[in-house]
Amino acid sequence: MNIVAIAQQKGGVGKTTSALALGHALAEQGKRALLVDLDPQSSLTISLGLNPASLGKTVYDLLREKEKPLEATAVITKTPIDRLDLIPANIDLAGAETELVGQLNREGILRDALAPLKGSYDYILIDCPPSLGLLTTNALTAATHVLIPIQSDYLAMRGTTLLLETIGRIQRKLNPRLEVWRILITMHNVRTVHAKEVLEEIRSTFKDVVFTTPIKYSVRAKEAPVEGQSILTYDPLSEVARAYRSLAQELISHG
Spatial distance between the Cα atoms of 6 and 254, rounded to a whole number of angstroms: 16
* Cβ–Cβ under 8 Å, residues 181 and 146: yes
Residue 144 near residue 254 (C-beta atoms within 8 A): no
Cβ neighbours of 164 (radius 10 Å)? 14
Evaluate if residue 144 carries a pLDDT over 60.
yes
Among candidate residues 210, 183, 182, 185, the one with its CA nearest the CA of residue 196:
185
Q: What is the pLDDT of residue 65?
A: 61
Q: 139 and 109 in contact (C-beta within 8 Å)?
A: no
Report the SS3 class of residue 127. strand
| Residue 99's CATH number | 3.40.50.300
Which residue, 126, 141, 143, 135, is CA-closest to 60? 135
**Could you list the residue range(s) of the whole structural domain that residue 146 is in?**
2-254
Query: What pLDDT sits at residue 125?
Result: 98
Q: What integer pLDDT is reported at residue 69 of this predicted model?
A: 65
3-state secondary structure of 214: coil
Confidence of residue 89 (pLDDT cuts 50, 70, 90): very high
Q: Please state the domain count of the chain.
A: 1
| pLDDT for 237 beyond 90 | yes
Percent of the chain with pLDDT over 90: 54
Closest CA to 38 of 153, 138, 113, 116: 138
The neighbour count for residue 239, using CB atoms within 10 Å, is 14
pLDDT confidence bin for 68, thresholds 50/70/90? low
Query: Mean of the per-residue pLDDT values for the chain?
Result: 88
The C-alpha atoms of residue 35 and residue 112 are separated, in whole angstroms, by 16
User: Can you give the pLDDT at residue 7?
Assistant: 93
Q: Which helix (H) or strand (E) holds 87?
A: strand 84-87
Prediction pTM value = 0.92
Q: Residue 24: what pLDDT?
A: 97
What would the DSSP string read from start to end of 135-187?
Answer: HHHHHHHH-SEEEEEEESSHHHHHHHHHHHHHHHHHHHHT-TT-EEEEEEEES
What is Dmax (Cα atoms) for the chain? 57
